[in-house]
């Protein structure tokens, strides 16, 4: 698969369009708002620096959530269920993307929190714009890793290998998607692949 063919297919799915549309709207809103200041860059820079950690925590705590029984009720989430389906069939492209219903909640929640957290609307818009850029980068990277496109650059090859190990070697390691050797190294989930046994539940999370 060529990169161009991969990009054409990428835009056939809902979440890239949703995030892309929000990005365009926010860009227009930010330009209209004006009031450019140096401190507009603080929150986006922190976001980009911490995103590998955020990504790791979401992957481990939300997507790899193990269903639990509490008072006769099973605690599970649509995101966790979809992620288990994604592990069962990593080549099923629609399962790669953030579900559009969940994405609606994320977009609305992020907007509400940003507008309340920042003293200036222009500053909130700058942060929201950074969040959508990161979201689009995540969707594109995750999608591309699971296509038939093969890495050429050194950086992308490392990221590609990292996530492939998570799916096909052992689901208990290599949780970052858009980076490699960052948050995984910080949290101790970046071992030498040669020292890790192949997990029998990589495609059947938690043995469910």
pLDDT tens by residue, 36-93: 999 899 999 999 999 999 999 999 999 999 999 888 888 899 999 999 999 999 999 9
Give me the pLDDT at residue 71, please: 83
Give me the pLDDT at residue 155, please: 94
Please state, in angstroms and rounded to a whole number, the distance separating the CA atoms of residues 151 and 157.
5
Give me the pLDDT at residue 59, please: 97
Q: Which domain holds residue 70?
A: 3-207
Give me the pLDDT at residue 208, please: 78
The whole-number average pLDDT for the span 172-179 is: 97
Please write the tens of the pLDDT for every residue from 117-167: 999 999 999 999 999 999 999 999 999 999 999 988 999 999 999 999 999
Give me the pLDDT at residue 69, please: 86
Residue 199: pLDDT over 90: yes
Give me the pLDDT at residue 12, please: 95
The answer to whether 65 and 80 are in contact (CB under 8 A) is yes
Q: How many domains does the structure of the chain reveal?
A: 1
Give me the pLDDT at residue 179, please: 95
| Residue 162: Cβ-neighbour burial (10 angstroms; 0-12, 13-18, 19+) | buried
Identify how many contiguous H helices and E strands the chain contains and give both numbers: 8, 2
- Give the position of tokens 């990504």: 55
């Amino acid at each position: 698969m060529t990169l161009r063919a991969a990009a054409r297919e990428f835009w056939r799915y809902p979440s890239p369009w949703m995030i892309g549309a929000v990005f365009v709207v926010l860009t227009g809103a930010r330009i209209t708002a004006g009031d450019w200041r140096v401190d507009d860059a603080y929150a986006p820079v922190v976001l980009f620096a911490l995103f590998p950690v955020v990504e790791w925590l979401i992957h481990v705590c939300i997507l790899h959530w193990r269903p639990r029984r509490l008072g006769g009720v099973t605690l599970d989430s649509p995101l966790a269920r979809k992620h288990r389906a994604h592990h069962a069939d990593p080549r099923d492209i629609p399962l790669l993307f953030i579900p559009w219903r969940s994405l609606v909640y994320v977009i609305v929640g992020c907007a509400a929190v940003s507008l309340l957290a920042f003293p200036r609307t222009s500053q909130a818009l700058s942060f929201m714009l950074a969040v959508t850029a990161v979201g689009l980068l995540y969707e594109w990277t995750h999608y591309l890793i699971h296509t038939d496109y093969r890495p050429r650059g050194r950086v992308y090859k490392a990221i590609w290998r990292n996530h492939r190990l998570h799916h096909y070697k052992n689901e208990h390691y290599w949780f970052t998607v858009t980076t490699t050797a960052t948050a995984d190294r910080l949290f101790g989930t970046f071992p030498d692949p040669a020292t890790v046994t192949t997990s029998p539940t990589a495609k059947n999370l938690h043995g469910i």
